[in-house]
Chain A
Amino acid sequence: MSRDLPPAATGRGFFDEGRYPGIFGWIFSTDHKRIGLLYLWSIGTAFCVGAILGLLLRLELWAPGRTIMDAQTYNAAFTLHGVIMIFLFIIPGIPAAFGNLVMPIQIGARDVAFPRLNLLSWWLYISGAALAVTALFTGGGPPDTGWTFYVPFSTHTSTNVSLATVAVFLLGFSSILTGLNFITTIHRLRAEGMTWMRIPLFTWSLYATAWIQVLATPVLGITVALVFAERVIGTGLFDPAQGGDPIMFQHLFWIYSHPAVYIMVLPGMGVVSDIIPVFSRKPAFGYKAIVVSSLAIAFAGSLVWAHHMYTSGMSDTAVMVFSFLTFIVAIPSAIKVFNWLATMYQGSILLDPPLLFALSFILLFTIGGLTGLVLGSAATDIHVHDTYFVVGHFHFVMFGGTGMAFFAAMHYWLPKIYGRMYDKIVATVAWGVIFVGFCVLYLSMKVVGLMGMPRRYWDYVPEFTGLNQLATIGSWILAIGLVLMFVNLIRGLFWGPPAGDNPWGGATLEWQIPSPPPAENFDSDPVVTHGPYDFKKAGIL
């Protein structure tokens, strides 16, 4: 296996002077790599804000009763934590940052299909974020409804739900445009020889995700628009006093929000699918199965939304139908896990940070997925619905899953983008601390949830104190690990040693160009002659 020697530092690739001077060369750039970095830093900032909110929530829950904030503030805090983490971090997350940075290069293109639309996506993201922040300080103050905005509370609360729904609408539009752009790009701009079956699995995952973004997000759009209309114009489609049905809000909301979790996790799975072969020095096992299961997850995930509604009052028939359908979606996910493990089997394993985070994904997502079965079975869900078991479950899959994949992607691709390498030992230590903190924090939640502690409660009975304190301690350990990880990354990416063109020995196209990538990506349009994990043919083994 050859690892390229660091090239002599000449220019700085796409970091060289842009079309406009200074910051304008960035915020008005249509270069997918610059837009990717704009997203990366915006999303990273959002994550930090959301994480701080999470730490504050855990501080409040250190003891029963008031600890550092009153109940109204607490409600606003967990609403904001959810809105930020979901709409400003996880949903744009991997596609907007790493999809933009890497995908066009992976398929041998110079940019996405609609570069100006891409820039518009980012501006919509920033506008939505700005409006969300404004909603904190205007109107009736920060929304206190939870990120799910359930009616009737969301239509009656005096907090600034109206502005928040406009923010969500803009953020949804941003997501839609990204999806639209990626679908068209992948269909139309692949280099010669890049057949469908040679596309890297990361790009395939973005493709499946993009379809969900395009087809499901508009339903969120109309749903929040209807909440806005009910508040501002007085329409009553969800109001029983006007013949409306509040459960219909839940249907419309979850018709988007369940597929949304696959928008969150599919790209994460794609990151893992790209990393595992490289760090096992083996082609991906079951490439086609992974492709098919990605598309299957996207489709099947659109059939199961009402498993969030077993206790809502909907019909028993619906409860049974959706419970049955929910089990189906576990199958393609399991197929992926088997394929990842089979890829590693008898491989030549390199325990670098990207692989450590990828392996964490597999373990933690699997655990989260298994608790998903408890939730998906209607009978057991009755007991754990709206408890901390749910909170533990979704943090396992979203944070232990997508979050870890996001960190994996940072450690895998940012040396390519910035051209410099971080300290791998510190990164490994940070990973270990994160992993321990994560498990302490969220396993405690699952246990206290099974014991009956409800979610979104500012107070709890004294019996739950021990586990809550354990969880809070876990959050501190996790925070230390995150700080260590981010500081190490920033230090390395800006001031570390040159990374070289191909520090990991990857066979996909992004590793065949200089680090940082040049503005046009390729000197001449590449011609692809082998698969994405064909290390032998790529001359890397």
Chain B
Amino acid sequence: MSGHLHKDYTGAKFGMWLFLFTEVLLFGGLFILYAVYLARYPKEFVSAGKELNVWFGGGNTLVLLTSSLFVAMSITALRRGATALCLGLLGGTVGCAALFMVNKFFEWSAKIGHGIYPGSAHLKEMAPGEMVFFNIYYLTTGLHGIHVVIGAIVLTWTMVFIRTGRVHAGDWVILENAGLYWHLVDLIWIFIFPLYYLILH
């Protein structure tokens, strides 16, 4: 009786979803803190929030939404046998990830250049609520950025598997799971964007 490497497509997907739940709860801790401090410092969150650039935030939102589109389409492409298109789309996703990080680099550089970063002297002169806003902004977007990088690595790895034929139209759960992880990265930003960049009132 063989079956040692029983391929369980549904099981593999379910395992990935469970992992995504852990990521939701990981960021969830930061969202708990955000909710509490927003309730405590409504005015300061607005004044600090206005310092963030909605073009950077909105731009990155569009970049991630598009990256999600690409990775979703890549699965269809693979299943239809359009391997080259699949790889192109995945390359596009990774490209979007890079664009996101470049954006973030410029955004953070500008802020840090103005002396706004955790532990800075300038931060310590701000009102307490504003300090909290920027601390939690850096922590949340920083943790998210780490996940963007991880996701890009996972997707690149998947592209290699597709090239070597290990992932193909008959067995694509690795691509599906990599895509699920990427969509999570997108989902978290869907909430980060309004909570940090659109606190204007």
| In-complex A–B contact (CB below 8 Å) | yes
Give A contacts to B, CB under 8 Å.
110, 113-114, 117, 176, 179-181, 183-184, 187-189, 214-219, 221-223, 225-226, 229, 233-237, 242-245, 248, 251-252, 255, 520, 523-525
A222 close to B1 (CB less than 8 A): no
List residues of chain A with CB within 8 A of the CB of B143.
Answer: 225
Q: Distance in Å from the Cβ of A254 to the closest Cβ of chain B?
A: 12
Task: Tell me, in angstroms, the Cα distance from A187 to B10 when the chains sit together.
Answer: 10
The interface centre, meaning the residue of A179, A216, A221, A244 with most chain B CB atoms within 10 A of its CB, is A244
User: Would you call B119 an interface residue if the criterion is a C-beta within 8 Å of the partner chain's C-beta atoms?
Assistant: yes
Q: A236-B132, A243-B41 are in contact. List 7 more A-B contacts (CB 8 A).
A: A113-B11, A214-B18, A214-B21, A222-B29, A243-B132, A248-B36, A520-B1
- Does chain A have a CB within 8 A of B59? no
Partner of B25, one of A218, A226, A233, A251: A218
Assembly CA distance A355 to B135 (angstroms) = 54
Number of B residues, CB within 8 Å of A? 42
State how many angstroms separate the Cβ of B55 from the closest Cβ of chain A.
Answer: 26
* B5 to chain A: closest residue by CB: A115
* Residues from chain B with Cβ under 8 Å of A221 in the complex: 26, 29
CA distance A236 to B100 in the complex (A): 27
Chain B interface (Cβ within 8 Å of chain A)?
1, 3-4, 8, 10-11, 14-15, 18-19, 21-30, 32-33, 36-37, 40-41, 44, 118-119, 123-124, 127-132, 135-136, 138-139, 143
Q: Evaluate contact between B18 and A183: CB separation under 8 angstroms.
A: yes
Would B118 and A233 count as touching, CB distance under 8 A?
A: yes
User: Which residues of A are found within 8 Å of B19, using beta-carbon distances?
Assistant: 180
B135 touches A236 (CB 8 A): yes
* Chain B residues in 8 Å Cβ range of A255: 29, 32
Q: Per DSSP, are chain B's interface residues mostly helix, strand or loop, or mixed?
A: helix
Residues in A with CB closer than 8 Å to B26 are 218-219, 221-222
Interface of A, helix, strand, loop or mixed by DSSP: helix
Interface centre among A215, A216, A222 (most CB of B within 10 A): A222
- In the A-B complex, the 9 residue pairs with the smallest Cβ-Cβ separation, listed nearest first, are A234-B119, A243-B128, A222-B29, A218-B25, A188-B11, A218-B26, A243-B132, A235-B118, A235-B135
A525-B132 in contact (CB<8A): no
A219-B29, A243-B41 as given contacts; A235 in contact with B138, CB under 8 Å: yes
B22–A218 touching, CB < 8 Å: yes
The complex places the Cα of A226 from the Cα of B118 at a distance, in Å, of: 12
Residues of B within 8 A of A184 (CB): 11, 14-15, 18
- Inside 8 A of B132's CB, which chain A residues have their CB? 236-237, 242-244
Q: Which of B3, B23, B33 contacts A237 (CB 8 A)?
A: B33
Q: Are B32 and A252 in contact (CB under 8 A)?
A: yes
Rounded to whole Å, the gap between the CB of A244 and the closest CB of chain B is 6
Q: Which of B29, B32, B131 has the most A CB atoms < 10 Å from its CB? A: B29
Q: Which residues of B contact A217 (CB under 8 A)?
A: 22
> CA A180 – CA B18 in complex, angstroms?
6
Closest to B133 in A: A243
- The distance in angstroms between the C-alpha atoms of A219 and B37, with both chains bound, is 18
For B36, the chain A residues whose CB sits under 8 A away are 245, 248
